[in-house]
Amino acid sequence: MDHKVFIFAVSLLVAYLGCGEAPFLKMTNAVCKSYNKSWVAIHYCRLKAYSRTKTSLNINATFIKPARNISVHLKTMKRASGYKPFLYDFTFDACEFMRRRNQPVAKIIWNMIRNVSTINHTCPYEGLQMLSDFHKVDLPVPLPSGDYLLMVDWLFDGKAQFATNVYFAYMEDLLPTSSKHRRGSKEFPHVRN
């Protein structure tokens, strides 16, 4: 169930990037890796096309033994001739978070992923962990347009066990303002200046 942790890390990233109407965020790649296959087996880690401008993130993995001490190292990067650190780089106790919801950035992510993950419980986590069809990105803060990477390392007992890295493209403005204008004047001709 540390999936939930990873899920909320992903949500967090998403929360940053995705904002609402005109701007949009599209996940462009997902790369997961187990550093210790006797503890974490990753079966599936992939994006699916959800609509023309959206993809959904799907991950399933098995924790072969119970994980009772989980921390998450979350780092956001922005591309500029290679990915460079951008905005966030911190580690938090995921077991404590699941008891107390005490990390504000993690909380944003948690709210985005809680309905589409198996992490809605406290530590320990064991067995199958899933994030299914995650696509509802809701970022409270707009970002500059560009390519981003959310790197998440999952540590059990202080040692890195697996990584879930998700690449995003963020665009500040999707619709040209000229087309909005034209539509406006047709629907409300009397408002035309």
Minimal CB distance residue for ligand NAG: 158
Residues making up the chain, counted from first to last: 193
Give Dmax (Cα) for the chain.
70
Query: Is 101 a residue that touches ligand NAG (CB under 6 A)?
Result: no
Buried b (16+ CB within 10 A) or exposed e, 63-102: beeebeebbbbbbbbbeeeebeebebeeebbbbebbeeee
Show the site string, 114-143: x = touches ligand NAG by CB under 6 A, - = not.
Answer: -x----xx------x-------x-------
Query: Is 43 a residue that touches ligand NAG (CB under 6 A)?
Result: yes
Closer to ligand NAG at the Cβ: 39 or 92?
39
Closer to ligand NAG at the Cβ: 61 or 151?
61
CA distance 107 to 105: 5
Closer to ligand NAG at the Cβ: 65 or 182?
65
Any bridge partners for residue 156, and if so which? 70, 159
Closer to ligand NAG at the Cβ: 28 or 34?
34
Residue with token string 């990477």: 149
Query: Is 157 a residue that touches ligand NAG (CB under 6 A)?
Result: yes
Any bridge partners for residue 16, and if so which? none
* Footprint of ligand NAG (CB under 6 A): 36, 38-39, 43-44, 60, 65, 69, 111-112, 115, 120-121, 128, 136, 157-159
